[in-house]
Structure 1
Amino acid sequence: MRVAVVSDIHGNRQALEAVLDAVEAAVADELWCLGDLVGYGADPNACVELIRRFATVSLVGNHDLAVRGAIPLDEFSRGAELAARWTQQAITPENLDYLATLEPQKLDEAAALYHASPRDPVWEYVLSPLQAELCFDVMAQRVALVGHSHVALAYTRSLGVPATGEKRPGGTELDVSHGQWLLNPGSVGQPRDGDPRAAWLMLDTDAWTAVWHRTEYDVAGAAAAIRAARLPDSLAERLPHGQ
């Protein structure tokens, strides 16, 4: 089965629409979302509705949990807090109800799905081989998909060999048929690896291959929407820089 994996959409409608078009062209069998449908961006309702329509599986992320009132807003940065408060006012009851049905992990698919990590599905950023090593020790399955860090990357561990890994630029293809793997598709709506293009992953669960993709989208339009909503200007300024 060919599964398109997305994460960290953050209310960026322009990015999500571009990725969905690319996923359709790539002929994926299913779409899995690793959470953070909302937060930072100006179109939370459009993004939730698109995921409701097209995703086979969706998780809840920490920003989604904040918007639904499950996490105190003072645990976030000032910009994220302001965006969450704005989103709480903007989101429709139907879309809020949908977010309330989601969990931060799902362990009954071909790969284990976590918003953040196997050790802490809500908050942990897996950004080092040491963190990956600790996650491998508790993973429910051989291959896990994680989001949250906004960085496209992969870590792996083989029997008797310490964990290794690095960022994975668009076009990277890996054979993940042996050993343990932690795969992060990167962020659709707010990449933080220096590449402003929307990031996503195609996972083939039959051949066990993973291919990272980057998709151009209307960055200026997404930034303009943030400014029009009077969200913090910093949230718009970072998009063209992939930071």
Structure 2
Amino acid sequence: MKLALVTDLHANRDAVEAVMAHAAEHGAERFAFLGDFVGYGAEPGWVVDFVRQQMRHGAVAVMGNHDSAVVKGPAPTMVAQAREVVAWTRSQLDAAQLAFLESLPLAVTEQDRLFVHANAFAPMQWAYVLGRMEAIRSLHATEARFTFCGHVHEPRLFHLSATGKAGEFVPVPEVPIPLSPQRQWLAIPGSAGQPRDGNPAACYAMFDIDGSTLTYHRVPYDHAAAAAKVRAAGLPERLAERLIDGD
């Protein structure tokens, strides 16, 4: 089975539609959405309804920090610009959409796979996996062989051997990576809706469960159109610029 891993959609309909089309062309049979469906982008209602519909068809979805902020209020560490978008987003969603976000779990475990937005060691505190030390801490916190998370808007892959030796690298798009059964793995697909690695193309990854391989993908889409929607919504100009620049 091919499982598409999509995270940090951030209310970007144009990017999500492009990712879904690409995943379908590459044989995706199921989807896992790793949080942050809202925030930053101009079409939160559409993205929330989309994820809700996908869950009816068997997709996995977990709560992200922006989803939590919209229904529970922003965390003290959230920057002013993000807080502004949280308030705007809340005004755009109806009661059913807000209830859906509030109902999302922080983490889902299926067999040897853990799906979570930020990390496995303290999901509700939203700490970032920025490097090897945080990845090791996350992997030590779960018995799952594979941890799939988002939050960090750049594609990354970490592994931990039974002897405690850890490694990390930046994956090359379109190159299948064999995931050794002798290691634990933590994979971050990168953001579909707001990439931050200098490349505006949307990110996602495909996990071949039967073959234990992971392939990262970059999907070009009309990011100028998405940026124009951000401007038209009256959201901060910086958010439009990030879609153009990919940073």
Q: Structure 1-normalised TM-score?
A: 0.95
Instruction: Say what the alpha-carbon RMSD is for the aligned residues.
Output: 1.3
Q: Is residue 2:144 matched to residue 1:141?
A: yes
Aligned mates of 2:176, 2:106 — CA distance in 1: 27
Hey, what does 1:183 align to over in structure 2?
Answer: 187
Aligned mates of 2:84, 2:111 — CA distance in 1: 35
Q: How many angstroms does 1:172 deviate by?
A: 3.1
Farther off after superposition, 178-187 or 105-114: 105-114
Q: Is residue 2:218 matched to residue 1:214?
A: yes
Of 88, 110, 135, 1:86 maps to 88
Hey, what does 2:32 align to over in structure 1?
Answer: 32
Unaligned runs of 5+ in 1: none
Farther off after superposition, 8-17 or 113-122: 113-122
Aligned mates of 1:6, 1:128 — CA distance in 2: 20
Unaligned runs of 5+ in 2: none
Specify the code of the residue in structure 1 equivalent to 2:244: P
Aligned mates of 1:88, 1:103 — CA distance in 2: 19
Any conservation in 2 of the 1:155–1:181 contact (CA below 8 Å)?
yes
Specify the code of the residue in structure 2 equivalent to 1:174: I
State the SS of the aligned residue for 2:123.
Answer: coil
Q: How many angstroms does 1:8 deviate by?
A: 0.2
Aligned mates of 1:94, 1:51 — CA distance in 2: 13
State the SS of the aligned residue for 1:117.
Answer: coil
**Percent of residue pairs identical:** 37
State the SS of the aligned residue for 1:89.
Answer: helix
Q: Over residues 79-107 of structure 1, what are the superposed CA-to-partner deviations in whole Å (9 max), with x where a residue is unaligned?
A: 11111000000112221111111012111
Q: Is residue 2:208 matched to residue 1:226?
A: no
Hey, what does 1:22 align to over in structure 2?
Answer: 22
After the TM superposition, which segments of 4 or more aligned residues of structure 1 sit over 6 Å from their partners?
none
